[in-house]
Amino acid sequence: MFFFEYRKYLKTGDNASRLAGNAPFIIDKDSGEIVELGTAWPLEKYLKDYEESKTTRS
């Protein structure tokens, strides 16, 4: 799982420099598929949904 943020915000802590809508993403180690998770729900929900979708695809 990868998270990302604007370097200026990380250096200064200035909220005006934050990225908006920068959802974390997963790169599936088996398929190489990039799966964007989202920001509206808690991270745990996205991870659970991802795991369930992998189970149904197998």
Q: Is 2 inside any structural domain?
A: no
- Asked if 46 contacts 38 with a C-beta cutoff of 8 angstroms, the reply is yes
47: three-class secondary structure by DSSP: helix
CB 25 within 8 A of CB 35: yes
Q: What average pLDDT does this structure show over 21-38?
A: 92
Q: Is the pLDDT of residue 57 over 80?
A: no
Give the mean pLDDT of the chain: 92
Question: How many domains, in total, are found in the chain?
Answer: 1
- The verdict on residue 32 lying in a domain is yes
How confident is the model over 9-19, as pLDDT tens digits? 999 999 999 99
**What pLDDT is recorded for position 1?**
85
Q: Which domain holds residue 41?
A: 7-57
pTM above 0.85, yes or no: no
Residue 35 lies in a domain: yes
What does the DSSP assignment read for 29-41?
Answer: TTT--EEE--SSS
Residue 15 included in any domain: yes
What percent of the chain is predicted at pLDDT more than 90? 74
Residue 12 falls inside a structural domain: yes
